[in-house]
Amino acid sequence: MNIKEYSIGDLVNATGITVRTLQHYDNIGLLPASERDENGRRYYTEGDIMKLEQIIFYKSLGFTLKEIQQRLVNETELKKMDELLDYQETTLYTQIEARYTSLSAIEAFRDIIALGKIPPWSFLASFISKLNDSDFLSWGGSYFSEEEMRKFEEHFNGLEDALAFYHTWKSLSIKAAIYNESEISSDEEIAQELAKQWLQMVEYATGGDEELRQIYIKVDGSREVWPDESRRLMDAADGYISDCVRLYCVENNLGLPW
């Protein structure tokens, strides 16, 4: 049975990729031509075309050529394809987390400037910049029991929902740490808005479920085993948040959430 072969021109027309790129992929061993004729012209099979489609797709997700070469799989290896997508999903979530951290710091600094104060630049350089080393995925299952993980899975509507909670927690904690470093009084409008958002986050994270609330309290009481940067962030923000929330609850005739 003859195997259908395709020239470089066929691949260029089918995918829009350039001849030079295909030659480069061949030279580095990422997509070597299956055949060459006596004149050195490259020819590819349908299997090669599928690999090229994978390369184009994975490259669009941000994989480097080296990563693609290490992980490129055959059409029958669907499990490995799924593992590869899981890996890149994790990578992209980590990158998104770093952007959220930066945006939270920018928002807090703008709040400081609006009050006529000079932002604590040295604090940013020595502390906030390190927070990119801590992300949602550093909180593995080892921090929670199987029953606690089940409760979280029941409460949060998938990974994106859990991430939304984590982003809110981290953003508010970053703002609190920066406000505290800038000596913003807990009765300032921005501090009271932070307290309001913190209480809304607590309600979102627990849904009024006392069992969930107790899980969070237990986790908070075990900060010594937290990921390092998350622990440092909460240590820097905790006292200020407590002061802001306590005042907000008094001013609005609310019970304390702890």
Confirm if 131 and 233 have CB atoms less than 8 A apart. Answer: yes
Are 65 and 84 contained in the same domain? no
Are 56 and 86 contained in the same domain? no
* 182 assigned to some structural domain: yes
* 121 assigned to some structural domain: yes
Whether 51 shows a pLDDT value over 80: the answer reads yes
Are 241 and 125 contained in the same domain? yes
Are 106 and 45 contained in the same domain? no
- Other beta carbons within 10 angstroms of residue 239's beta carbon come to 11
Give dist(CA 79, CA 57) in Å, integer.
17
Domain boundary among 71, 91, 107: 71
Please give the average per-residue pLDDT across 86-96, as a whole number.
74
Q: Report the pLDDT value the prediction gives residue 245, as an integer from 0 to 100.
A: 96
* 1 assigned to some structural domain: no
**pLDDT-derived band of residue 131, with 50, 70 and 90 as boundaries?**
low
Whether 121 shows a pLDDT value over 50: the answer reads yes
Are 145 and 194 contained in the same domain? yes
φ and ψ at 130, to 5 degrees? -80, -15
- Three-state DSSP at 232 gives helix
Are 182 and 154 contained in the same domain? yes
Are 147 and 63 contained in the same domain? no
**pLDDT digit string (tens) for 165-184?**
888 998 999 999 999 999 99
DSSP 4: P
Strands (E), the chain: 6-7, 35-36, 42-44
What's 10's domain CATH number? 1.10.1660.10
Are 19 and 92 contained in the same domain? no
Are 16 and 126 contained in the same domain? no
Longest Cα–Cα distance of the chain, Å, equals 87
Range of the domain at 119: 78-251
Whether 189 shows a pLDDT value over 90: the answer reads yes
Please give the average per-residue pLDDT across 188-196, as a whole number.
96
pLDDT above 90 coverage of the chain, percent: 21
Hey, what are 160's tokens? 């994106």
Whether 1 shows a pLDDT value over 50: the answer reads no
**pLDDT-derived band of residue 77, with 50, 70 and 90 as boundaries?**
low
Q: Report the pLDDT value the prediction gives residue 187, as an integer from 0 to 100.
A: 95
Q: Cα–Cα–Cα angle for 102, 63, 131, nearest 5°?
A: 25
* 257 assigned to some structural domain: no
Confirm if 195 and 248 have CB atoms less than 8 A apart. Answer: yes
